[in-house]
Amino acid sequence: MAVFKIDAKCSNTSARCGTLLINNKKVETPIFMPVGTYGSVKTLHPKEISSIGYNLILANTYHMFLRPGTEILKQANGLHNFMNWDGLILTDSGGFQIYSLKGLRKIHQDGASFQSHLNGDQYKLTPENVIDIQRVIGSDIMMMLDVCPSGDESLKKWNEAVELTSKWAEQAMLYYNNSSGIYDKEQVLVPIVQGGTNKDLRQKSADSLLKLEAEMYAIGGLAVGEPKDKMLETVSIMNELLPINKPRYLMGVGTPSDLVKNVSLGVDMFDCVMPTRNARNGQLFSWEGPVNIKNSTYANDNSVIDESSNSKMSNMFTKSYLHHLFKTKEILGLRIATEHNLYFYYELMSKMRYHIKNDSFMEWSKTFINNYEGNKNE
């Protein structure tokens, strides 16, 4: 089981910091989870990820199911052993990936059928077999299969997604409670609240899922094309609807300022490809806003990448050198930028925890957002 304890609260916002204990491993919240879709955080090996301070990463059920497949993962005794990772793993169910397949998938009452984007083979995910796959993966936190519509869908489509997600969640919890894992460990099952940006549908979804008495809850269906102010408004609604004493996980978010704003609304957990994907495209995150290292401005800039960073590589190499590596498409450039961004995100979450504990979060967050958004190009 997951044990969650709130250690401190901000007196002016809904921000809180806490500790989450799963399988004898402690996670400090609010937390950001690097994305390792295929069992790898691109360009860095697991020891480099853990040396930054991360002990919880995300992998994807849909992609791990297709490659390498459950037989290979079972032979390896799960993904932790397969990738030599001694931290915790959360696996997304694949609902978002199925949503993104568009013409290659079809939603049914009992699951979602889809055509593999790799070779065209036909598969079907159900509330039950998604749990079976995650049992083989051995993830510490398993997400339920959900229906994830886009941010600009009709109210009718959002309602259909809520009803089917609730139906699947009930089936999933029943199956979970009557089945056991393959490995000697606890696996936490998490339902995902849907409803687009509609308050009534979010209420409907939450009411249904809270009956399951899950150990934590996820907020899905955001960061899928809706306006930013609508996302924040919806998270604020969820802050009122979800239990205070259980972790809240906002899926797929986001930018540094998004993280700060949503922590102030009571969110505890985040994941996003942004720090790693943007790094591979030459964008570095800094306290003054994003930096495009491929810009010619940095061709002759012999200052270190970021002397305020705890990243050794950011203090070892110059902006000019990193600019050169990107221009010549050297792999080292991707590694330096990825490590830099993951350090930045880790330090950002650490600062938030510090200021929540010292009840200075509101003032600090205002200063951070003003500095960051005044110079941003996200």
For the annotated catalytic residues, the residue numbers are 92, 271
> E strands along the chain, which residues?
3-9, 16-22, 25-29, 31-33, 56-60, 88-92, 105-108, 111-115, 122-125, 141-143, 188-190, 192-193, 217-219, 248-250, 269-271, 283-284, 291-292
* Helix, strand, coil abundance in the chain, percent, nearest 5: 45, 20, 40
- For residue 199, what are the contacts with CB-CB under 8 A and spacing of at least 6? 234, 237
User: Rounded to whole angstroms, how far apart are CA atoms 305 and 309?
Assistant: 9
Cα torsion through 357, 12, 374, 229, rounded to 10 = 120
- DSSP character for 249? E
User: What residue ranges in 84-233 does DSSP mark as E strands?
Assistant: 88-92, 105-108, 111-115, 122-125, 141-143, 188-190, 192-193, 217-219
* 177 burial via Cβ count (<10 Å: 0-12, 13-18, 19+): exposed
* Cβ-Cβ contacts under 8 Å for 211 (sequence gap 6 or more): none
* Angle, helix 331-357 to helix 361-373, in steps of 10 degrees: 150
DSSP secondary structure string, 6-59? EEEE-SSSS-EEEEEEETTEEEEESEEE-B-TTSS-TTS-HHHHHHHT--EEEE
Q: Using alpha carbons only, how large is the chain's radius of gyration in Å? A: 20
